[in-house]
């Protein structure tokens, strides 16, 4: 009789342990709609799964008694698991827009082309000569600030202000160019399970300042300050710590028909 009672208790305990091995439940939003593709993670671990098309999930647990539920566009929620492994219906609420700020600094490879007219004065006549100036390709530096408006979805917007500095050389002309680049509305597309990968692109406004380094004056039709437009593209990776890196490309034209291209990279820190 004692042996029978012992085996019965053992079977009951085994069933309870087996019931605790998995956590299962349903995830919905605040409107009662099921959420497919939500991430369910055992708290304190990397053990996770996704909800099915009917909003249900089943996660094999290891040691924790809590799960963390997250989904783009919704607030992250932590829920306790019942002794039998069941979880009450989880309701995720819409996430409020988040604003993040960051800084970046890096280097770029620059290509600049300029077409100009020069007037040669002689004793009896004058002649106008047209020529193309291809400034030597140089390495410039950039630094900037950016603001990331993340609405919790795959897409967010990034607004920034960045300063590029580069040296231009052609024949006897040597100039320092400071390019203040202002992205107007850059769209960011985040990728990956935790959305660390991203791509940004969009139009930018350029304010260029030219400063001569030698005795040569600026060309007749080249002013010290010019306004231009450019297209900006960047892709990169952001780590959890806030650090990241970018690879970018940019091309544009100024009000004096100076074409400028650049590509390079930058290190970033996101607050």
Residue 97 has pLDDT above 90, yes or no: no
Give per-residue pLDDT as tens, 158-179.
Answer: 888 889 888 887 766 778 889 9
Residue that terminates a domain, selected from 48, 63, 92: 92
Q: Return d(Cα 265, Cα 249) in angstroms, integer.
A: 9
Query: Starting from the edge strand earliest in sequence, which strands make up the sheet with 77-80, in order?
Result: 48-50, 39-42, 66-70, 77-80
Residue 107 has pLDDT above 90, yes or no: yes
Say yes or no to pLDDT of 210 above 90. Answer: no
Q: What are phi and psi of 5, to 5 degrees?
A: -65, -40
CATH number at residue 115: 2.40.160.20
pLDDT band with cut points at 50, 70 and 90 for residue 84: confident
Do 188 and 172 share a domain, yes or no? yes
Number of Cα atoms under 13 Å in the Cβ half of residue 185: 1
Domain match, 169 and 195 both:
yes
Q: Which residues of 95-121 are buried (b: 16+ CB within 10 A; e: fewer)?
A: beeeeeebebebebebebebebeeeee
DSSP classification of residue 88:
P
Number of domains in the chain: 2
Regarding whether 179 and 111 lie in a shared domain, the answer is yes
Tokens of 65: 């008694």
**pLDDT band (50, 70, 90) for residue 13:** very low
My answer on whether 54 and 133 are in the same domain is no
Is the separation of the CB atoms in 139 and 169 below 8 Å? no
59 shares its domain with 174: no
Decide if pLDDT at 232 tops 50. Answer: yes
Task: Clarify whether residues 110 and 236 are in a common domain.
Answer: yes
- Quick: pLDDT tens for 39-63: 999 988 889 999 999 999 999 888 8
Q: Which of 100-109, 134-143, 186-195 has the highest mean pLDDT?
A: 100-109
My answer on whether 81 and 104 are in the same domain is no
Q: Higher-confidence residue: 152 or 100?
A: 100
pLDDT value at position 129?
A: 47
Question: Does residue 75 share a domain with residue 131?
Answer: no
Domain range for 115 is: 98-270
Q: Please tell me whether residues 87 and 103 are part of one structural domain.
A: no
| Domain finish residue from 36, 57, 92 | 92
Q: What confidence tens digit (pLDDT) does each residue in 114-165 have?
A: 765 544 444 444 444 455 567 777 888 989 998 887 665 556 778 888 898 8
């Amino acid at each position: 009789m004692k042996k029978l009672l012992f085996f019965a208790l053992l079977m009951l305990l085994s069933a309870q342990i087996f019931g605790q091995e998995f956590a299962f439940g349903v995830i919905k939003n605040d409107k009662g709609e099921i959420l497919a593709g939500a991430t369910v993670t055992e708290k304190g671990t990397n053990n996770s799964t996704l909800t099915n098309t009917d909003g249900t999930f089943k996660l094999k647990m290891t040691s924790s008694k809590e799960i963390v539920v997250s989904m783009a566009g919704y607030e992250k929620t932590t829920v306790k698991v019942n002794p039998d492994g069941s979880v009450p219906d989880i309701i995720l609420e819409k996430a409020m827009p988040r604003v993040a700020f960051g800084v970046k600094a890096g280097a770029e490879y620059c290509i600049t082309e300029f077409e100009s007219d020069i007037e040669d004065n002689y004793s009896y006549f004058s002649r106008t000569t047209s020529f193309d100036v291809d400034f030597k390709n140089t390495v410039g530096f950039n630094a900037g600030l950016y603001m990331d408006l993340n609405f919790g979805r795959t897409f967010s917007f990034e607004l920034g202000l960045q300063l590029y500095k580069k040296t231009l050389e052609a024949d006897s002309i040597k100039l320092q160019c400071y390019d203040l680049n202002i992205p107007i509305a850059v769209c960011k597309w985040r990728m990956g399970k935790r959305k660390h990968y991203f791509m940004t692109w969009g139009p930018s406004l350029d304010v260029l300042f030219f400063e001569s380094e030698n005795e040569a004056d600026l060309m007749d039709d080249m002013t010290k300050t010019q306004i231009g437009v450019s297209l900006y593209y960047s892709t990169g990776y952001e780590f959890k710590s806030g650090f990241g890196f970018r690879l970018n490309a940019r091309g544009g034209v100024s009000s004096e028909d100076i074409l400028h291209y650049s590509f390079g990279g930058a290190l970033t820190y996101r607050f």
